[in-house]
Chains A and B, each alone.
Chain A
Amino acid sequence: MKNEYDIIVVGAGPAGSMAARFAAEQGVSVLMLEKDRDVGYPVRCGEAISKAGVEEFIKVDSKWVAAEINKFSLNAPDGSEVIVEFGDAGYVLERRNFDYELARTAAEAGAEILTRAYVNDLLFENGKVSGVKHEYKGEQKEVKSKIVIAADGVESRVGRWAGLKTVTDFRDMESAVQITAANIPVDQNTLYFYFGQQVAPNGYFWIFPKGRNKANIGLGISGSVNKKKYAQYFLDEFMNKRFPDAPVLTKIAGGVPCSITLDKISGPGIMLVGDAARQVNPLSGGGIASGMIGGKIAGTIAGEAIKQNKPDHILTYDKAWNDRLGKRHETFNRIKEGIYNFSDDKFNNIAHSALKIPIEKRTLGKVFTTALINNPSLLIDIAKVFVV
């Protein structure tokens, strides 16, 4: 390890690995620091991703595909089940293998990786971020760089230290708990979503199959709900009712920032990617693909800035992100605001209406249209982001 790099990436999740890879591919020097002992572990994620979201970045490999998905099952409070079929929608990942492979692609591109390296402060020179301080095996170290890319997740602090406004309103923070359980006999190609006051108010409950009747099960609820009843209790109640005897293989809490992207995700010497930049799709809570896209854009621009010796070039990242996904997320956020506090009756009525659409014509866009038919201003938003 050297004392100085062109680019330091903080965090080795999907966003960090893609930032490191797309920067390193341009021949600049890159160091990626990860606070945990292992890349890819622990997993705090529903692990579902669209096919297109994966294929932009890595060749599909059975090592990290737990299940292939071709159906959604949307479940209303009264038990009505709306199935939406897709050709080949996506995958449920084995994230601990997936993240590992993504980091490998960064390493192959030339990035160095150091685990157990906890970044706890930034270095500055002339008002510009110029490296990081980190703790490694109990020792405090400093490494200089021309650019720091913060991919330090929902718990990000790096951006804040660089002077960016990163705090998430607690109402936009989806408090989540997630387990991997065995002996969950559901269709192994269907993502199951459950809505309503009993299971996950202002959020949703999920069962995502992981092959051989294993499943990733969990829920996320807004902080405004969690403050009255913790996510943990919703999970316990659901499991006690539906799968009281299912062995639990993993169990962990998590947080998903479901908001629009931060106002500013770059500054002098600093760029933010993934959950740290709040690049999660605020409607679905999905952040793997969008984080990788953020990482790719940031890494590419950072590499260019170094090669062309144009430090200000990194400030073009905000616009590049907004053009690719940021504006789309604003649309998703409006749709979320339109539906997140629906009553159980409303969810039931939507399901009953959606069930009248013949299954071969039923799309997610049409289900959302049904949901928001009395809110015409949002119908345009739906048309923008769904193939209706």
Chain B
Amino acid sequence: MELKYRQAKTGKLMIDILPDKCDFCGCCVGVCPEDAIELKEAEIYIIDERCTNCAKCVWSCPIEVIKFNKNGVLF
């Protein structure tokens, strides 16, 4: 079976948010240069087509909820 990867603006999406572990604090949204993160009261996700895999969200997350996965994120 063929693996299907999510597509960012710059190729394979490599940013993976783990919503079950998230506190929805918004650090990542505050540093995202592309407005590529949607954050509601208790819901968070990457807007794939805007993301450039810059990883600033990964660096700013206080509780290790956002992972950089260089192999790409699967659907």
Contact = CB atoms under 8 A, between A and B. Distances in A.
B31 A223 contact: yes
B27 A253 contact: yes
A170 B25 contact: no
B60 A175 contact: yes
B64 A254 contact: no
Contacts of B29: 154-157
B40 A168 contact: no
B64 A154 contact: no
Contacts of A254: 23, 25, 27, 62
Interface in B38-75: 39-41, 56, 58-64
Contact of B61 (A35, A37, A157, A175): A175
16 contacts: A44-B25, A118-B40, A154-B27, A167-B30, A169-B31, A173-B60, A177-B63, A226-B61, A227-B58, A227-B60, A230-B61, A252-B25, A253-B27, A254-B23, A254-B25, A255-B25
B27 A255 contact: yes
A253 B33 contact: no
Given A227-B59, A253-B63, A255-B62, A167 B31 contact: yes
B7 to A, nearest CB: 22
Contacts of A20: none
A72 B40 CA distance: 37
A37 B24 CA distance: 14
A141 to B, nearest CB: 15
Given A176-B62, A231-B62, A252 B31 contact: no
Please give me the 10 A-B residue pairs with the lowest Cβ-Cβ distance, nearest first: A155-B26, A255-B27, A227-B59, A231-B62, A155-B29, A175-B62, A253-B23, A253-B25, A253-B62, A170-B31
Interface of A: 35-37, 44, 116, 118, 135, 153-157, 160-161, 167-170, 173, 175-177, 223-224, 226-227, 230-232, 252-255, 257
A155 B30 CA distance: 5
Contacts of A167: 30-33
Given A232-B62, A255-B60, 9 more contacts: A44-B25, A118-B40, A154-B29, A156-B30, A223-B59, A226-B59, A232-B64, A253-B25, A255-B62
Contacts of B63: 177, 230-232, 253
Contacts of B30: 154-156, 167-168, 173, 255, 257
Contacts of B33: 167
Contact of A173 (B31, B35, B40, B58): B31
Interface residues of B, number: 21
Nearest to A160: B35
A174 to B, nearest CB: 9
A169 B40 CA distance: 22
Nearest to A120: B38
A252 B23 CA distance: 6
Nearest to B54: A170
A161 B35 CA distance: 9
B62 A230 contact: yes
A160 B33 CA distance: 10
B62 A37 contact: no
Contact of B60 (A116, A135, A170, A252): A170
Nearest to B22: A253
B50 to A, nearest CB: 12
Residue from the set B40, B56, B59 with the largest chain A CB neighbour count within 10 Å: B59
Nearest to A221: B62
Nearest to A251: B23
A333 B39 CA distance: 29
A175 B30 CA distance: 11
A372 B41 CA distance: 43
B25 A157 contact: no
B41 to A, nearest CB: 5
Nearest to B32: A167
Given A252-B25, A254-B62, A255-B26, A37 B31 contact: no
B27 A175 contact: yes
A363 to B, nearest CB: 32
A44 B61 CA distance: 14
